[in-house]
Amino acid sequence: MTSTLQRGFSLISAIFLLVVIAALGVFAVTLSTTQNQSQTMDVMGARAYQAALAGLEWAAFQVANSPISSPIATLCATSFVPNTATALGGNLAPFSVTVNCRTTSAVEGASMIWVYNISSVAQTVGVAGDVNYVEQIATAKLVR
């Protein structure tokens, strides 16, 4: 015969175990989601860096292939439109790249040397602080 004091004790234990197991399940799902988002943003950051490097390579191509007889100082003014974003394709499709250029000159001996300060900014749509916003900046100095 069971006493009346022991009735319902197993119900309290079962509810406690259900609450603890549910809390552990919520923790596991939250941890998994956070890790997946972190990995996705890491990949997007690497892709943004590659997009910024693509902008630098385009600028290097423009500088290297400009005719020597043309006024080199105007290359930045004619080839690089300031603050104009260019959309990319392929694996870099979510990104647009803005390439900016500034020139300075120096005289070395009898030669005029032009230094191009190139900055390339790759970013996704949106503004800083948005959940899926990624931006990378690459800079280089090119001399000709």
- Distance (Å, whole) CA 138 – CA 12: 61
Give the pLDDT score at 135: 93
Count of domains for the chain: 1
Residue 1 lies in a domain: no
Distances (CA, A) of 60 to 3, 6, 124: 89, 83, 23
Give the pLDDT score at 53: 94
Residue 18 has pLDDT above 90, yes or no: yes
Residue 2 lies in a domain: no
Residue 3 lies in a domain: no
- Distance (Å, whole) CA 76 – CA 48: 24
* Whole-prediction pTM: 0.73
Q: Where are the extended beta strands (E) located within the chain?
A: 85-87, 96-108, 111-123, 135-143
